[in-house]
Structure 1
């Protein structure tokens, strides 16, 4: 089966999205009205240069910066991953050490690895025990599951007062502050750099991201690295979707969202599905008596696709419902009502026993969420091997396993 056939099949099967991107199979917003194949152009006269914007793309960045007065904005087409890596490279010119606070995405570790930088993994509350002079703290908020770091403005202010710099990976928070009923945007934290993935919850194409920088000189240094790392053939469809997503954000009314959210939670609980609300009202974690992995498979069997499943539960990214949206809400409620437990289908378990006690040579990362289970250079313990097998039984994709097995099976000859 080809990729095109697979995509057509999911579309024709009327699959229901509870995952990213935020346009939810083109049912949220009116993205298809402004994103057309005819608009897939290149940097012809009048369309500016993304890496040195002075015309229409400069106007786009100025419009985006209005979301956060005091920040410079740069639209990006290689996702938040590229923004994180470029920011780390630029800030390395000013600091000698990085602190990674909390459960960071693999791109953060890739960023510090690419510059061969020293780093320390800490809890956010440990900041106050550290000498932050000549350092940068990288925080992740909200988390993949919609949890926010408490008192982050206080953390950022402490970092600044102690001569440190701060980056916030806010990939999952581009929609925050969309109305007063949502938690505050991380742009209100005052961090030196904040990167948001517009595509995750807003109606934008995948890879749509915006990087916000407070200091002009730092912004220029980050642009230097964006010019090196980002594609030199940016998609104008992605860029146009960023503009549309910002317009959607500016005009959004949440009345329909909270009404449907309440109905959905009621139906889930009536169907015996435990529903855990997160700091971000657009994220829910679901569970059932059959366990999260069975629940996710049951939902998928009914044509409802979730964002992620872990031992904690099944993660749903709710649509930003609005008046006139085309999201199949009634069909979703019907499928929840008719849900039945899935047949157990054990995943393939690779022989990872060879790795026990060895040094990890490539990050081992369950994906999603992309937070490393074992970092390169750390020991792969018996408990880790047990968790890996548990994940594999439950069909969780884990990056880095094959590389580590191949390395040790070939006596470290790589």
Structure 2
């Protein structure tokens, strides 16, 4: 039982989580009080039907919809990816092309590829030079690192006034507007569709997400596709965790969060770690003189696990600390104060030079964050390969690279 043993070893080790999910190893919130193996039931009488809710799950969706006036809500157990792809399918029936603002998650490209639609990657500023009629604009906000698209409500209004549609991949923003001291929820931008991953920053089980839709007819059309793609045996544990996370969101007090956040930042700086605060106060980007990759490895050697490392830095997703949480905060501070540089070793660089100038046959994606580096159908450049090699040297997983190598080595059919 290698997986179970691996999970057990992390638990015994007392690993400190600075990554998702938001319950942080069951130390934020009281999720284990409401999520029990005995509650893992199926659609027996009284537990409703997720794909056609009319009872208790309909009540759950109604409660979720109260998060922002004017939206219809649907709890999902297949993650935000399910909501994004289903929304693209539904809107593809209404539009002739898609615009993608900035660095989108691979699920956006997967959805557009599946419907064989045209798309263009543009900046927010280029919106105002684009033909938006019969188009859908897809935003990612907040980004993985916690940065937000500026003036997004203005952008959404402009799109609507020009007969376009809008989707916001707000996977990393389910906790925004949790108090007045956090940035505004993306639901306030009033896009046609907003999808949030409740599990990323709120105390919910992984894959817990919620779809929010403005128009009831569009909502029903998206549900048509969700029913195609989502499992027909939904986890009631995940659903219950969504309900719990919503209650946590409604009742949260941030006094302890900002006090502990200030102490943590001070401790990091005392350890000569540079701290870049993000738009989202629950995200920090960390660097030090020995480089981001060495910093992440040094943390990991002490049992502190980060969300992601890139050339930009080490990303930490802060816990939503609260009265009565069991997060090992003092232990975290102690580990930071005793942090020493780890001995780094270079990862193996695969023979990828064969790919220079070739057409990419499968998206090449550093994961995390899951934002494609080279898109299917585009030429792979020398610069692209240098970046891939850099990631490989630093032990970053690259999805799709082996598929491309195999294709051109074997000339295999897709």
Do both proteins adopt the same fold according to a TM-score greater than 0.5, normalized to the shorter chain?
yes
Alpha-carbon distance in 1 for matches of 2:235, 2:69:
27
- Deviation digits for residues 370-398 of structure 1, max 9, x if unmatched? 00000001111001111100100000000
What does residue 117 of structure 1 align with?
Answer: 117
Counterpart-to-counterpart distance in 2, 1:50 and 1:100: 30
Whole-angstrom CA distance in 2 between matches of 1:407 and 1:325: 50
* Alpha-carbon distance, 1:179 to partner: 0.2
In 1, the alpha carbon distance for the partners of 2:36 and 2:27 equals 16
Alignment-derived partner of residue 385 in structure 1: 385
Q: Quote how far apart the aligned CAs of 1:413 are.
A: 4.2
| Offset, 1:25 | 0.1
Query: CA offsets, 1:235-290, max 9 Å, x none?
Result: 00000000000000000000000000000000000000000000000000000000
TM-score between both structures, scaled by the size of structure 1: 0.99
Q: Spell out, residue by residue over 1:23-77, the C-alpha distance to the aligned partner (whole angstroms, 9 max, x if none).
A: 0000000000000000000000000000000000000000000001100000000
Question: 3-state SS of the aligned residue for 2:60?
Answer: helix
What is residue 148 of structure 1 aligned with on the other side?
Answer: 148
- Per the alignment, in what secondary structure is the counterpart of residue 181 of structure 1? coil
Q: How far, CA to CA, are the matches of 1:388 and 1:104 in structure 2?
A: 19
Matches within 5 A, 1:216-235: 216-235=216-235
Gaps of 5+ in 2: none
Q: Tell me the SS of whatever aligns to 2:286.
A: strand
Gaps of 5+ in 1: none
Q: Which deviates the most, 116-125 or 249-258?
A: 116-125
1:357 maps onto 2:361 in alignment: no
Tell me how far apart the structure 2 counterparts of residues 124 and 378 of structure 1 sit (CA, whole Å).
23
SS at match of 1:343: coil
Alignment of 1:327-346 (within 5 A): 327-346=327-346
Whole-angstrom CA distance in 2 between matches of 1:62 and 1:385: 49
Equivalent position of 2:297 in the other structure: 297
1:411 positional shift: 2.9
State TM-score, norm by structure 2.
0.99
Structure 1 distance, partners of 2:125, 2:2, is 49
Count of residues in correspondence between the two structures: 414
Tell me, yes or no, if structure 1 residue 321 matches structure 2 residue 335: no
Look up the match of 2:272. 272
CA-to-aligned-CA distance 1:191-240 (integer Å, 9 cap, x gap)? 00000000000000000000000001000000100111000000000000
1:250 aligned partner: 250
Tell me which residue corresponds to 1:89.
Answer: 89
In 2, Cα distance between equivalents of 1:168 and 1:383: 30
In structure 1, C-alpha distance between the alignment counterparts of 2:293 and 2:145, rounded to whole Å: 16
Please state whether the residue corresponding to 2:350 is helix, strand or coil: coil
RMSD: 0.6
